[in-house]
Structure formats: C-alpha cells, structure tokens
Amino acid sequence: MQKLKDFLPPILIRKLSGLFYGWSGNYKSWSIAKSHSTGYDQDLILEKVKKSLLQVKNGEAICERDSVIFDKIEYSFPLLTSLLWIANNNGNKLNLIDFGGSLGSSYYQNKGFLKNVELTWNIVEQEKFVLCGQEHFENDQLRFYKSIDDCFDSTNPKVLLCSSVLQYIESPNSLISLFLKQNFEYIIIDRTPFIKGRDRLTIQKVHPKIYDARYPCWFFNEDRFLSQFFEKYELITDFNALDRSNIKSEFKGFLFRLK
C-alpha cells in the first residue's frame, strides 16, 4: 500500500484505502449495517484501550487516542480553548459529562492544561467500561457512570462533551433530544463527520494495526444536525476536528451555550 501512496493522487488513495479499511457503503437501516458489523462492545476493544491508557496513567506513554499510543499529544486546541473558556466563565470550575468518553482518553489528553481548574470529569459509558474505569482509573477528578441520571444523582455537571460518539449511535437524534432536556449550560461536540446532502449510514472498518472491528457509522448533514440545538442553544463557535475520512466529508466541532 505504501508504494501505491508514493505514486497515486490523494483522492484515489482514499478510494483504494476504503476497500481495505475506512468508511464505505450507504445502508438503508442500522439493523442492516449492524448485521455486517462486529460492534463496539467486543472485549478486545476494551482490553486494547485499557492496556494503552494504563501506560499513559502510569507515565509509561505520552498519549492514547482510539486505543493507539502516540509519542506526542495532538491537541484539539479548539476543544481545549472551549473547556478553559467555560471554566473561566464559571469561577474556574469545570464539571462535565464526557459521554462515551472511553476510559478517560480526553481527560488524560487535556488535564495538563487544566491543572489550575477545579475539575470534575465524569464519563458515561457502557457498563463494562464503567466497571473497568472505576477499578483502574477513577480518582478525585475522574469518575465513571452507567447513565446520565446516575451522574446527576452524584454531582451537578454543567457541561456535556460528545467527542467522536454521536456518529456511532443508532438513533443520534433521539439521544440529542435527551441531552437537550437536561439543560446543560454548555454543550461541546467534537470529532463528528459531516457530508453534503442527506445523512449517510456507513460501516467503518478499523485499521487492522489497531484492532479487527467493523461498526456502523453515520455521516450527518450539518444544517439538519445543527437545527436541533438552535431553539435552546446559541452557537458560540465551530471548528475543524482532527479526524479525516476516505469519504468526502468534514470532521467538525461546535460549542453551544444555553440561551
């Protein structure tokens, strides 16, 4: 594959790579896409993420993202700026729900810049991730919950962070409706893919160097996606996210504030 990359234009490389890994298809329903997938709840995914993040926690590695170890943190500075701006507007306090936040990937990536912030980072995840997080990663700042309601029973989060998660939900619009009912003061969306035209349901094939997995993944129409928020929230800013796809698309982020 590397030899081909040396000679072929980028657009053709994206098309060819999609034959082996990346995003492909345009499925009519989640159930059809799921029947061709392996899902997110495989034990191998949890174990890979756990192993990588334990290295970060123990100071043996610098950074983890999507279970992959990196020797340098690739910051999403718009996300980090949003978090610091919110903390500055709230007495240097930041109490957030990181929905689908794995075992703390975003927490570990950003905590170095949040040292002077009174930080409560709550992760809502699948039960097996929650149990693993509570056993191996929970501390005075980082906590794990099985549901948003469980989190609200224990603390009072003002911020919702959804980073690279909504596109992997069967009914993302229903989930967004649930979020809106919670009246978070701020909502941050990050690492979310958008395309021209109608929403598209694909299957993402994970690069085999990471782990062997395939799962359904949405690409959203941006205008339709944003329209769900505008009745209750004002858009403070939007920004480009770090991710890329072999499908013609943009990965973006948004910062909303309750009106």
Higher pLDDT, 16 or 93: 93
- Residue 130 host element (H or E): helix 127-136
Indicate if the pLDDT at residue 63 is higher than 90: no
Calpha distance 240→193 (Å, rounded): 10
CA atoms within 13 A on the CB side of 157: 30
How many other CB atoms are found less than 10 A from the CB of residue 180? 18
Give the pLDDT band (50/70/90) at residue 41. low
pLDDT, tens only, 179-197: 999 999 999 999 999 999 9
| Sequence-distant contacts of 65-72: CB under 8 A, at least 24 apart | 65/105, 65/109, 66/105, 66/164, 66/210, 67/210, 67/211, 68/210
Indicate if the pLDDT at residue 7 is higher than 60: no
186-195 vs 200-205, strand pairing mode: unpaired
Q: What is the mean pLDDT of the chain?
A: 90
- Give me the residues paired with residue 169 across strands: none
What is the predicted pLDDT for the residue at 43? 80
Higher pLDDT, 66 or 178: 178
Indicate if the pLDDT at residue 1 is higher than 90: no
Q: Please choose, from the candidates 163, 42, 57, the residue with its C-alpha nearest in 3D space to the C-alpha of residue 101.
A: 163
Residues ≥6 apart with Cβ < 8 Å to 210: 48, 66, 67, 68
Q: How far is CA 52 from the centre of its chain?
A: 17
Give the SS3 label for residue 115.
coil
Poorest-confidence range of 45-49, 62-66, 158-162, 212-216? 62-66
What structural domains does the chain harbor? 43-258 (3.40.50.150)
What is the predicted pLDDT for the residue at 62? 83
pLDDT, tens only, 196-208: 999 999 999 987 7
What is the predicted pLDDT for the residue at 17? 45
Give the pLDDT band (50/70/90) at residue 12. very low
pLDDT, tens only, 108-131: 999 999 999 999 999 999 999 999
Calpha distance 134→127 (Å, rounded): 10
Higher pLDDT, 163 or 69: 163
